[in-house]
């Protein structure tokens, strides 16, 4: 008889990455997803920006998780491509950070100095250099600009597709249209899950249900994690190839170029419960933002708009680790604006935890009862 699997609840980038990592280590794994396809919630909606980070100069455990994840992404992209044939669109494209006014420029400069102290390459760009790198920009608009060469990007829908295929090839049991409705337990041990597809059992369980994780946790534990859905809206332009080459960031908004000429513009943070959908007002704001950075976008069509629900936690730090008072349940949720970036490091650390490996990683920082 084959051993009971580790059951992952939620088939977004976090659940699938943990499943893939566990499968690579030889474990039996099952992923249960409520939707009819994997990765169609926040993980599909995201922009795929992976800002520079370095575990060796990390200032705190969150920074360490970012650094570890950043270090792992190039290797994961190469492995996924060689195992599945799917190009995830992973590129070291670099990111340019822009400030229009002197106040914004001062805080951007301070942030860049901090990054430089941590050993990141930061390059100040005067107007000529900015124009040479990105001729479609109107450099006169910007007071200050910096280039971060180590900013990466990936095409998240393709990355998720590659994870699904790699999991399939490694015999992970993947089940869609399977909503977890409740837990069955005996004492402090989960004995099974009640799902829309019947009873499912495993050896250990992991909640990776994104913005819905707190709702699910409440069914088995009184711990108030308070993960809330934070909606983000996006628009897509169909551009000619190479209109822009790098990610262009201004404050919390950005333009992200894809290699086929498409350009994504995002985003916003809206607390509107579990309500997806776009609003005319926000789409107009995003279009105006995009035009103000790259005037040539006015000539192009916005071909698509969408939204997604980020899993936000009260302090922006994900919840990673054991669920207290339940023997065989862990959680990996609440990655907010960085779940695509943090997925690789989260997967490795969660796999260590599920294998009961001792490590020096500061789990307290991510604890469900912090
Ligand atoms: C507009 C936008 C832009 C973003 N840009 C970036 C970016 O540039 N870089 C970055 O790193 N991150 C970005 N993010 C954030 C990132 O997308 C998320 O942090 C990440 O996708 C979270 O992954 P997840 O697997 O936890 O959640 P999800 O992708 O939401 O997956 C959770 C899954 O659990 C399933 N589920 C829920 N409840 C149940 C249940 N009861 N039973 C079974 N299944 C269930 C859901 O159907 C869903 O598929 C962005 C997000 C948005 C919305």
Ligand 1 midpoint to CA 325 (Å): 27
- Same structural domain for residues 19 and 132? no
Distance from residue 318's CA to the centre of ligand 1 (Å): 12
Is the residue at 240 inside a domain? yes
- Is 16 inside any structural domain? yes
Q: What are residue 152's DSSP bridge partners?
A: 50
pLDDT of residue 140: 81
Nearest CA to ligand 1 atom 53: 308
- 8 A C-beta contact, residue 239 and residue 283: no
113 alpha carbon – ligand 1 mean position (Å): 32
**Would the pLDDT of 208 be above 90?**
yes
Decide if pLDDT at 51 tops 70: yes
Which residue would you say has higher pLDDT here, 370 or 345? Answer: 345
Residue 236 Cα to ligand 1 midpoint, Å, equals 19
Shared domain check, 270 and 214: no
Q: Please report, rounded to a whole number, the percentage of residues in the chain having pLDDT higher than 70.
A: 99
Mutate to test the pocket of ligand 1, among 14, 183, 206, 210 (most ligand atoms within 8 A of CB): 210
Enclosing domain of residue 129: 95-152+228-312
Distances (CA, A) of 228 to 61, 62, 156: 22, 19, 22
- Calculate how far, in angstroms, residue 144's C-alpha sits from the geometric centre of ligand 1: 33
In a domain, 326, yes or no: yes
Average pLDDT in the chain: 96
Please indicate, yes or no, whether residues 136 and 212 belong to a single structural domain of this protein.
no
Q: Check if the beta carbon of residue 319 is closer than 8 Å to that of residue 332.
A: yes
Per-residue confidence (pLDDT) for residue 1, from 0 to 100 = 52
83 and 160 belong to one structural domain: yes
Q: What 3 state SS string does the chain have?
A: CCCCCEEEECCCHHHHHHHHHHHHCCCCEEEECCCCCCCCCHHHHCCCEECCCCHHHCCCHHHHHHHHHHHHHHHHHHHHHHHHCCCCCCECCCEEEEECCHHHHHHHHHHHHHHHHCCCCCEEECHHHHHHHCCCCCHHHCCEEEEECCCEECCHHHHHHHHHHHHHHCCCEEECCCCEEEEEEECCEEEEEEECCEEECCCEEEECCHHHHHHHHCCCCCCCCCCEEEEEEEEEEECCCCCCCCEEEECCEEEEECCCCEEEEECCCECECECCCCCHHHHHHHHHHHHHHCHHHHHCCEEEEEEEEEEECCCCCCEEEECCCCCCEEEEECCHHHHHHHHHHHHHHHHHHHCCCCCCCCHHHHCCCC
Q: Is 208 in the pocket of ligand 1 (CB under 6 A)?
A: yes
- Give residue 56's pLDDT: 94
C-beta 151 within 6 A of ligand 1: no
Q: What is the CATH number of the domain that holds 68?
A: 3.50.50.60
Residues 107 and 218 in one domain: no
| pLDDT at residue 359 is higher than 90 | no
pLDDT at 46 over 80: yes
The answer, yes or no, to whether the previous bond of 267 is cis (omega within 30 of 0) is yes
Q: Mean pLDDT over residues 324-338, rounded?
A: 97
pLDDT in tens, 117-167: 999 999 999 999 999 999 999 878 899 999 999 999 999 999 999 999 999
Phi and psi angles of residue 169, each rounded to the nearest 5 degrees, phi first = -65, -25
Is 210 close to ligand 1, i.e. is its CB under 6 Å away? yes
Residues 288 and 200 occupy one common structural domain: no
Dist. CA 74 → ligand 1 center (Å): 21
Q: Note whether 80 and 166 are same-domain residues.
A: yes
Phi and psi, residue 50, nearest 5°: -125, 90
* Ligand 1 mutation target, pool 10, 156, 205, most atoms within 8 A of CB: 10
Residue 243 within a domain: yes
Res. 196: pLDDT tops 80: yes
Mean pLDDT of 272-299: 97
Last residue of one domain, picked from the residues 295, 312, 329: 312
Domain match, 264 and 233 both? yes
Query: Are both 249 and 266 inside the same structural domain?
Result: yes
User: Does 332 contact ligand 1 (Cβ within 6 A)?
Assistant: no
Domain of residue 288, CATH code: 3.30.9.10
Residue in 7, 12, 68, 176 to alter for ligand 1 test, most ligand atoms within 8 A of Cβ: 12
Q: What's the mean pLDDT in 91-115?
A: 96
Our answer on whether the CB atom of 347 is closer than 6 Å to any ligand 1 atom is no
Indicate whether 178 belongs to any domain. Answer: yes
Contact status, residue 26 vs residue 358, Cβ threshold 8 Å = no
Distance 319 CA to ligand 1 centre (A): 14
Per DSSP bridges, beta strands 173-175 and 29-32 are parallel
**304 CA to centre of ligand 1 in angstroms:** 19
- Quickly state the pLDDT bin for 2 (edges 50, 70, 90): low
Instruction: Count the domains in the chain.
Output: 2
Q: What is the spatial distance between Cα 180 and Cα 193, in angstroms, rounded to a whole number? A: 7
222 and 166 both lie in a single domain:
yes
Q: Is 318 in the pocket of ligand 1 (CB under 6 A)?
A: no
The per-residue pLDDT for 153 is 98
Q: What is the pLDDT of residue 202?
A: 98
Note the pLDDT tens digit of each residue in 58-86. 999 999 999 999 999 999 999 999 999 99
Q: Are 150 and 71 in contact (CB under 8 A)?
A: no
Atom of ligand 1 nearest to the CA of 179: 42
Domain presence at residue 1: no
Domain end: 289, 312, 335, which one?
Answer: 312
Of all protein residues, the one whose alpha carbon is nearest to atom 52 of ligand 1 is 46
Q: How far is CA 82 from the centre of its chain?
A: 22
Regarding whether 202 and 109 lie in a shared domain, the answer is no
In terms of domains, do 163 and 80 share one? yes
pLDDT of residue 309: 98
Work out which ligand 1 atom sits closest to the CA atom of 308: 53
């Amino acid at each position: 008889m084959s051993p009971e699997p580790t059951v992952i609840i939620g088939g977004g980038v976090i659940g699938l990455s943990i499943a893939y990592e566990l499968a690579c280590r030889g474990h039996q794994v099952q992923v249960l997803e409520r939707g009819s396809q994997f990765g169609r919630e926040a993980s599909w909606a995201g922009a795929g920006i992976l800002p520079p980070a370095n575990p060796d100069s990390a200032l705190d455990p969150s920074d360490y998780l970012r650094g570890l994840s950043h270090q792992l992404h190039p290797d994961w992209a190469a492995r996924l491509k060689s195992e599945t044939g799917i190009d995830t669109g992973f590129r070291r494209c670099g990111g340019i950070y822009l400030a229009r006014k002197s106040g914004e420029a001062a805080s951007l400069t301070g942030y860049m100095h901090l990054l430089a102290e941590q050993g990141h390459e930061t390059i100040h760009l005067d107007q000529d250099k900015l124009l040479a790198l990105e001729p479609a920009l109107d450099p006169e608009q910007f007071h200050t600009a910096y280039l971060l060469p180590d900013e990466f990007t990936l095409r998240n829908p393709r990355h998720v597709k590659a994870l699904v295929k790699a999991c399939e090839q490694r015999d992970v049991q993947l089940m869609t249209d399977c909503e977890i409705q409740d837990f069955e337990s005996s004492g402090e041990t989960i004995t099974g899950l009640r799902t829309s597809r019947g009873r499912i059992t495993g050896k250990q369980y992991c909640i990776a249900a994104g913005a819905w994780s707190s709702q699910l946790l409440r069914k088995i534990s009184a711990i108030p994690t308070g993960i809330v859905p934070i909606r983000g809206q996006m628009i897509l332009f169909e551009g000619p190839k190479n209109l822009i080459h790098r990610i262009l960031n201004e404050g919390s908004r950005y333009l992200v170029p894809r290699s086929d000429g498409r350009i994504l513009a995002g985003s916003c943070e809206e607390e509107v419960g579990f309500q997806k959908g776009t609003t005319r007002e926000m789409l107009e704001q995003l279009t105006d933002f995009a035009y103000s950075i790259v005037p040539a976008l006015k000539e192009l069509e916005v071909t698509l708009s969408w939204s997604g629900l980020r899993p936000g936690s009260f302090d922006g730090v994900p919840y990673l680790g054991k669920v207290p008072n339940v023997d065989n349940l862990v959680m990996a949720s609440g990655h907010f604006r960085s779940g695509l970036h943090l997925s690789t490091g989260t997967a490795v650390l969660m796999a260590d935890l599920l294998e009961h490996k001792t490590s020096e990683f500061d789990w307290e920082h991510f604890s469900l009862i912090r």
